[in-house]
Structure formats: C-alpha cells, structure tokens
Amino acid sequence: MSEKDIQKAKEKEKRENQKNAMKAAAAKRPRRSPFRFFKDAKAEFKKVTWPTPKQVVNNTGVVLTAIVITAAAIYGLDSVFAWILRFAYNVNIR
C-alpha cells in the first residue's frame, strides 16, 4: 500500500469513529415525552416575576408617550424637509 492509500484509510476510519461516537451520544439522551415538556414549562412559568397591574399601566403610559413624542418628531422633520424642498425647487408639494 502506498502512503496515499494508508492516509485515506486512516481518514475513513476517523470518519467512522466520529459517526459511531455521535450515534452513541444520541442513544444516551433520554427520550422526553410531550407531557414532561408541558410540566416543565408550567414550572418555569411559576418562577417568572409577573408585573403588577399598576406597573403594567405605568409602562403602557411610558410607551404611549414615547410613541407620541416620536410621531411628533417625525412629523416635524417631514415638515421641515418639505419646506426646504418647496423653497429649493420653488414647487408646491402639497
């Protein structure tokens, strides 16, 4: 056998060993039932710190205020850019 053949044989054996190792690792993993999944999910939901209704109302107010401020800023920038374009091109956009 030539060195090339020996090298190919070693690579083939290495690939087969890797395949066998992956199969063995997969066989060791326990199978989980869907019931176990939902039981674990329920347990995790119990660990969550849920906000109080007052916190939800306060956070909603903050979000709505941020939306109004952002909308006003975008409207203002749009108006300024429209005015600049009307002035630059002497065209009525509206």
- Residue-wise pLDDT for 58-84, tens only, equals 999 999 999 999 999 999 999 999 999
Q: Do 60 and 87 lie in a common domain?
A: yes
Residue 39 structural domain: 1-48
Structure tokens at 55: 């916190």
Q: Do 43 and 54 lie in a common domain?
A: no
Q: Do 22 and 7 lie in a common domain?
A: yes
Q: How confident is the model at residue 29 (pLDDT cuts 50, 70, 90)?
A: low
Q: Do 55 and 44 lie in a common domain?
A: no
pTM for the structure as a whole: 0.49
Structure tokens at 72: 């006003």
CB environment 16-27: b (16+ within 10 A), e (fewer): eeeeeeeeeeee
- Alpha carbon of 49 to those of 30, 46, 52, 83: distances in Å? 31, 8, 9, 50
Mean pLDDT score across all residues of the chain? 87
